[in-house]
Amino acid sequence: MDPHGATSGGLSGSELEAQFPDRVRELRTLLRQLRPYLQYRGSLVDFHHESLEEAVLVRCIPDPEALTREHAFLADHF
């Protein structure tokens, strides 16, 4: 999943789980439910449609400061 180009081509399942260690079970359930709307490239997971990515960003990252924090979190991870 790629908040405005934060990664090149998505994240692996283990990378997603590392970002949400306390919510791995919920994350796995969510990924199963969203499977038709996600694109898998080997082990990487990304949004298949830009409109879904934008909707998730609006819902989960509501302001520019939150987006900056998420980018910093990803940068620290990589």
pLDDT, tens digit only, all 78 positions of the chain: 444 445 567 888 888 888 888 989 999 998 999 999 999 989 899 999 999 988 988 888 888 898 898 888 888 877
* Predicted pLDDT of residue 60: 82
Sequence-separated (6 or more) residues with CB below 8 Å from residue 10: 1, 2, 39, 41, 44, 45, 46
Residue 37: the pLDDT is 93
What's the chain look like in SS3? CCHHHCCCCCEEHHHHHHHCHHHHHHHHHHHHHHHHHEEEECCEEEECCHHHHHHHHHHHCCCHHHHHHHHHHHHHHC
Report if pTM > 0.85. no
pLDDT of residue 9: 75
The total domain count for the chain is 1
Range of the domain at 57: 3-77
Of the candidates 36, 52, 35, 46, the residue with the CA atom closest to the CA atom of residue 12: 46
pLDDT score for 4: 43
